[in-house]
Amino acid sequence: MGLHCPTMAALSRRSSGLLLMGLALLAAGAPARSQTAATPAEATAKLRETLARGPKISLKETELAPVPPTEGWAMGMASWVTSDKRGFIYILQRGDKADPIVVMDPATGKVVRSWGKGLYTMPHAIRIDPSGNVWTTDAASSMVYKFQPDGTKLMEISVGGQPSPCRNNFCGTTDIAFAADGHLLIADGYANARILEYTADGKKVREWGTAGTGPGQFRLPHSIQVDEAGVIYVADRENARVQRFDREGRYLGEWKQYGKTFGLKLDRGALWLATQPRNEPNLSPGWLVKIDRLSGELLGSVEVTGVHGMDVMPNGNLLVGPGPGAASPRWFRLP
């Protein structure tokens, strides 16, 4: 029996078939490449569609306006807001007719106490640690302060490294988070694209991050959280993404589908984002978005105008500091 040899016509047909298959595979890959290059407007349109189809969280919005304790007392911009286990609300504000830190009872509007006059250049974020201590950051001086709930100062950390002059008083620290071992994670975003780690007593451990758009790089790390497993979540604001890292600063992944995120808050198995469209001016209508902290899956959203710092109260209510131009924070209450 002789060996079978393919004819020239058969070889030609086979080559044509392989060429067509290759062209088909290239064509199939083309849409995937175009999707990764979506413009900010296209990304916003997709986000709006995702949130419109996703679950809604029913909350009643209320303005949090403290009752002035004295004549002439008034708050300026409410930069950030947090709450303690008793339900008292702590506001970090920038006006000169009230102390920077204002504590109020939301049930009555009464100012319970206030402090901080003379300590701040540009008050930015306020957080309460698991022990009930109050922490703040300053976006100009890069001073981080720790207080008892009554306002007694316990510690200060001079992060340093900000340029001089400090452009528009925004050149320093933005937010602080508390690890399970007591260590502190500080976002230093306005002039330095970095995250710093300190021990509980204020000794610097490490820093990491550079300016840019790649993994582990930042364009204004504006808010930070860390969970009990040591996963660090960073709102990389001007890159319109939330990046995730381990405790050594190694990149774990990112979510870039939820817009320009200003504030973050962990709430058990969820992560809340105070966010807005990337392609619209700051303080544009946006959302408080709840996602699964492991998968990034959308769990719900609430519409809000003006986002900056946010918090989740012990009873599940939401608080948001609305940013420049609005003196009073917003309170989203369960019905």
What is residue 38's predicted lDDT score, i.e. its pLDDT? 84
Mean pLDDT score of the chain, rounded to an integer?
89
Pairing of strands 217-218, 210-211: parallel
Q: Are 202 and 160 in contact (CB under 8 A)?
A: no
- Of the chain, the percentage scoring pLDDT greater than 90 comes to 80
Going by C-alpha positions, the residue among 284, 280, 278, 197 that lies closest to residue 242 is 278
Radius of gyration, alpha carbons of the chain: 24
Q: Are 56 and 80 in contact (CB under 8 A)?
A: no
pLDDT tens per residue across span 27-71: 444 434 344 568 999 999 999 999 999 999 989 988 888 999 999
- Token pair for 288: 């408080």
Q: Is the pLDDT of residue 182 over 90?
A: yes
Q: Is the pLDDT of residue 19 over 70?
A: no
Q: Is the pLDDT of residue 137 over 80?
A: yes
Could you state, in order of their start, the residue ranges of all structural domains in the chain? Answer: 52-333
Residue 167: partners with Cβ closer than 8 Å, 6 or more residues away: 191
Q: Is the pLDDT of residue 6 over 50?
A: no
- Please state, in angstroms and rounded to a whole number, the distance separating the CA atoms of residues 260 and 257: 9
What is residue 36's predicted lDDT score, i.e. its pLDDT? 55
Q: Which CATH superfamily is domain 52-333 in?
A: TolB, C-terminal domain (2.120.10.30)
Q: Quote the DSSP letter at residue 201.
A: T
In one-letter notation, the amino acid at residue 30 is A
| Confidence class for position 296, pLDDT limits 50, 70, 90 | very high
| Confidence class for position 24, pLDDT limits 50, 70, 90 | very low
Cα atoms in the Cβ-side hemisphere of radius 13 Å centred on 202: 11
- Please state, in angstroms and rounded to a whole number, the distance separating the CA atoms of residues 229 and 133: 22
Q: Which residues pair with 220 in a beta bridge?
A: none
Q: Is the pLDDT of residue 324 over 60?
A: yes
| Confidence class for position 305, pLDDT limits 50, 70, 90 | confident
Cα atoms in the Cβ-side hemisphere of radius 13 Å centred on 53: 5
- Please state, in angstroms and rounded to a whole number, the distance separating the CA atoms of residues 157 and 220: 21
| Count of Cβ atoms closer than 10 Å to residue 77 Cβ | 18
| Confidence class for position 327, pLDDT limits 50, 70, 90 | low
Q: Quote the DSSP letter at residue 14.
A: H
- Please state, in angstroms and rounded to a whole number, the distance separating the CA atoms of residues 83 and 106: 10
Give the global pTM.
Answer: 0.88
Q: Are 17 and 23 in contact (CB under 8 A)?
A: no
Q: Are 173 and 158 in contact (CB under 8 A)?
A: no
What is residue 328's predicted lDDT score, i.e. its pLDDT? 81
